[in-house]
């Protein structure tokens, strides 16, 4: 995933573009560049490395002009080098393009363009767009862009400038998010709202097929048939403070510590204690449609997939519906029979993950009703689903997903409660779940107080090369999630495994070097997990246990005990995950890793 920005107005574009790129750097950060137009010419400055490297170069040698485009990259085609950084230009340097997405037929287009005399300077798919636009007939830039895009297969969110048409930016969207920021006599382009919030709250989310034209005093949007469209102007609901580091050293720690508030925000206005159910206005599911649901399929990736595994336990228990949880990418590789009564849940923090989006589209095409469990308002998955639940957890900037995970579990519980109460779940049980949900924010606050102990554990084990995370039942997905957190920000190898499965092979790994993290809240499988701990201890393994506060019989069985408050067993993952998030964070910090921009990763993977 990459970040694109654009500006046209009366102010100098350079600083505005740089600030926007900084806000989008979590989307990709291996190289960055801007093009700034000044009259009938534009200048390009682009460098490998972070946005700061570009900012330092521009501080030494600024680019003057009141319109421009910019890009921060997560490389897909071509190494992360200065040459491959965006913006890309055509042969004559008269067209500049920044692009988020993948041009799938780039090779064929490049070959045809080269045969007609175009000369390429990079290995990227994006450069093909610049030459296509150069070659396209048309009297205006928007006409040429539309003609060029008609030949493209793939996904794009692009912003284009032409030296022949000063103070104009043409924007197009197909499969990669792009929005317009509507200011006072100035207009912005961005991949997401965080890049424009400092200037305006008013945004227009473009639809697939839209082409927008921005000039210094107006903008308009055309659909794929070049008909001018009136697109709704939305207001960004959160404040700048939500995307500022504040007193925290990293966004990941800020977002871990925000979870009492973000879970409260996910619950806000949705718990009906008297009726022992949830109010979910965006489901667009009638009582009749609800009665017709015979099974649920969850499609997701990464952390969201782990939340889906937790959700399966919760929905099966409360709503008595069978649930299958699929890796979104794998779901699409099977020709599953369409089963009437299937409700598909697409879980995605960003709402832009290509694998999940395509899996949701496949489910829809097979006749399933689809709901999005999404954090980013206006994202593609949210817009294409039949209904859904917004997490309202605020922007998640840290590449490692944390607050979204707990809010996803809470949202899935609300859905399970709503479904369950229409399918025989008792009033008393519904009221109990509602009360337990309401207590979660204060329980999370208590779990966060474990941080000093967790930091000590991290310091004790920072040199280990591999960790095993074990859990049973609803705690098994928490073990998977704890392992993923560790891998993606500390680069330590870790594996999540069902605790009982450990003795069917992985136990061979246990030795005095292998820390084993057990997710062991006091629930109905607790005693069995104790046996697994003994199996590890008997082989010299180091045991770190996440368990429930209060009396426990772990005695000398464990080397480190991290105790979280008691809650309903189904909700324990919201609490047991907290020390594991902190453990991954502190291990990464001790190891000097770039916590918010881990190598090779990007916040949302908008390529398949
Ligand atoms: C989680 O920490 C990772 N960054 C990654 O696995 C992420 O959960 C996955 O890419 C799915 O993203 P989404 O929730 O935005 O769809």
Q: Is 591 left (phi over 0), alpha (psi -120 to 50) or beta?
A: alpha
Atom of ligand 1 nearest to the CA of 601: 4
Atom of ligand 1 nearest to the CA of 484: 2
Q: What is the mean pLDDT of residues 359-378?
A: 94
Give yes or no for a contact between 276 and 429, defined as CB atoms under 8 angstroms apart.
Answer: yes
Distance 401 CA to ligand 1 centre (A): 6
Atom 5 in ligand 1: which residue has the minimum CA distance? 302
Strands 42-48 and 31-37, how do they pair?
antiparallel
Q: What is the mean pLDDT of residues 426-449?
A: 98
What pLDDT score was predicted for residue 238?
84
Q: What is the mean pLDDT of residues 112-119?
A: 97
Atom 16 in ligand 1: which residue has the minimum CA distance? 348
Residue partners of 419: CB distance under 8 A and separation at least 6: 290, 293, 315, 318, 319, 321
Atom 6 in ligand 1: which residue has the minimum CA distance? 302
**Pocket mutation for ligand 1, best pick of 304, 396, 411 (most atoms within 8 Å of C-beta):** 304
Q: Is 70 exceeded by the pLDDT of residue 280? A: yes
Distance 87 CA to ligand 1 centre (A): 27
What pLDDT score was predicted for residue 377?
87
Tell me which of 23-27, 381-385, 497-501, 558-562 is least confident.
Answer: 23-27
Q: Confidence class of residue 263 from pLDDT cuts 50, 70 and 90?
A: very high
**Pocket mutation for ligand 1, best pick of 250, 331, 353 (most atoms within 8 Å of C-beta):** 353
Q: How far apart are CA 451 and CA 477, in angstroms?
A: 22
The closest alpha carbon to 224, from 164, 183, 169, 175, belongs to: 175
457-498, pLDDT tens digit by residue?
A: 999 999 999 999 999 999 999 999 999 999 999 999 999 999
Q: How far apart are CA 277 and CA 265, in angstroms?
A: 17
225-252, pLDDT tens digit by residue?
A: 789 999 999 999 888 888 888 899 999 9
Give the distance, in angstroms, between the CA of residue 34 and the centroid of all CA atoms in the same chain.
25
Q: How far apart are CA 199 and CA 177, in angstroms?
A: 19
**Pocket mutation for ligand 1, best pick of 301, 397, 398, 584 (most atoms within 8 Å of C-beta):** 301
Distance 400 CA to ligand 1 centre (A): 7
Average pLDDT, the chain: 94
Residues marked as catalytic: 2, 603
Give the distance, in angstroms, between the CA of residue 51 and the centroid of all CA atoms in the same chain.
21
Distance 600 CA to ligand 1 centre (A): 14
What pLDDT score was predicted for residue 607?
67
Model pTM score: 0.86
The closest alpha carbon to 257, from 19, 476, 446, 531, belongs to: 446
Around ligand 1, the residues with Cβ closer than 6 Å are 301-304, 348-350, 353, 356, 399-401, 488, 604-605
116-170, pLDDT tens digit by residue?
A: 999 999 989 999 999 999 999 999 999 999 999 999 999 999 999 999 999 999 9
* Winning range, highest mean pLDDT, from 148-152, 535-539, 601-605: 148-152
Atom of ligand 1 nearest to the CA of 302: 6
Q: Kindly report the number of other CB atoms within 10 A of residue 12's CB atom.
A: 17
% pLDDT > 70, the chain: 99
DSSP annotation of 413 reads H
What pLDDT score was predicted for residue 335?
79
What pLDDT score was predicted for residue 311?
98
Distance 403 CA to ligand 1 centre (A): 12
Distance 405 CA to ligand 1 centre (A): 9
Q: Is 80 exceeded by the pLDDT of residue 74? A: no
Atom of ligand 1 nearest to the CA of 303: 8
Q: What angle do CA 602, 262, 397 make, to 5 degrees?
A: 20
**Pocket mutation for ligand 1, best pick of 299, 302, 397, 580 (most atoms within 8 Å of C-beta):** 302
Q: How far apart are CA 337 and CA 491, in angstroms?
A: 39
584-601, pLDDT tens digit by residue?
A: 999 999 999 999 988 888
């Amino acid at each position: 995933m990459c970040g694109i920005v654009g500006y046209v107005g009366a102010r100098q574009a350079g600083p505005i573009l740089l600030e926007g790129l900084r806000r989008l750097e979590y989307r990709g950060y291996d190289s960055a560049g801007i093009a700034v137009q000044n009259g009938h010419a534009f200048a390009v400055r682009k460098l490998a490395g972070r946005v700061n490297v570009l900012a330092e170069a521009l501080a030494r040698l600024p680019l003057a002009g009141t319109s421009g485009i910019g890009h921060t990259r997560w490389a897909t085609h071509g190494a992360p080098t200065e040459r491959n950084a965006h913006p890309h230009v055509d042969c004559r340097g008269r067209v500049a393009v920044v692009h988020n997405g993948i041009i799938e037929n780039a090779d064929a287009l490049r070959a045809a363009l080269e045969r007609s005399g175009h000369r390429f300077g990079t290995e990227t798919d994006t450069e093909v767009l610049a030459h296509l636009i150069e070659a396209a007939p048309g009297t205006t830039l928007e006409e040429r862009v539309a003609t060029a895009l008609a030949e493209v297969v793939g996904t794009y969110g692009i912003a284009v400038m032409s030296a022949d048409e000063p103070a104009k930016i043409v924007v197009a969207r197909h499969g990669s998010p792009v929005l317009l920021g509507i200011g006072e006599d100035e207009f912005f382009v961005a991949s997401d709202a965080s890049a424009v919030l400092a200037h305006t709250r008013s945004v227009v989310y473009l639809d697939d097929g839209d082409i927008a034209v921005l000039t210094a005093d107006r903008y308009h949007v055309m659909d794929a048939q070049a008909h001018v469209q009136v697109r709704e102007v939305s207001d960004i609901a959160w404040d700048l403070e939500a995307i500022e580091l504040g007193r925290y050293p990293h966004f990941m720690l800020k977002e871990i510590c925000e979870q009492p508030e973000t879970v409260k925000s996910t619950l806000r206005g949705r718990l009906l204690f008297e009726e022992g159910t949830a109010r979910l206005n965006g489901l667009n599911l009638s009582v009749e449609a609800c009665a017709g649901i015979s099974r649920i399929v969850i499609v997701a990736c990464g952390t969201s997939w782990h939340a889906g595994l937790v959700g399966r336990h919760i929905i099966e228990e409360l709503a008595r519906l069978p649930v299958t949880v699929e890796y979104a990418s794998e779901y699409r590789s099977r020709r599953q029979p369409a089963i009437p009564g299937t409700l598909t849940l697409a879980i995605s923090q960003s709402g832009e993950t290509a694998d999940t989006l395509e899996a949701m589209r496949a489910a829809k095409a097979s006749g399933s009703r689809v709901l999005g469990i999404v954090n980013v308002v206006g994202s593609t998955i949210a817009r294409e689903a039949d209904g859904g639940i917004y997490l309202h957890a605020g922007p998640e900037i840290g590449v490692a997903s944390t607050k979204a995970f707990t809010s996803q579990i809470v949202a899935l519980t609300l859905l399970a409660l709503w479904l369950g109460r229409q399918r025989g779940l008792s009033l008393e049980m519904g009221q109990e779940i509602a009360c337990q949900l309401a207590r979660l924010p204060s329980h999370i606050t208590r779990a966060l107080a474990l941080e000093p102990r967790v930091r000590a554990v991290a310091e004790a084990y920072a040199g280990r090369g591999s960790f095993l995370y074990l859990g049973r039942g609803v705690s098994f997905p928490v073990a998977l999630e704890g392992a993923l957190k560790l891998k993606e920000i500390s680069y330590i190898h870790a594996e999540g495994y069902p605790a009982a499965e450990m003795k069917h092979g992985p136990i061979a790994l246990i030795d005095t070097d292998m820390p084993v993290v057990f997710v062991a809240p006091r629930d109905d499988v607790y005693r069995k997990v104790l046996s697994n701990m003994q199996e590890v201890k008997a082989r010299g393994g180091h045991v770190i246990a996440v368990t429930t506060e209060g009396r426990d019989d772990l005695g000398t069985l464990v080397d480190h005990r991290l105790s979280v408050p008691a809650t309903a067993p189904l909700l324990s993952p919201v609490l047991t995950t907290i020390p594991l998030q902190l453990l991954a964070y502190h291990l990464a910090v001790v190891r000097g890793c770039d916590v918010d921009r881990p190598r090779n990763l990007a916040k949302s993977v908008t390529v398949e």
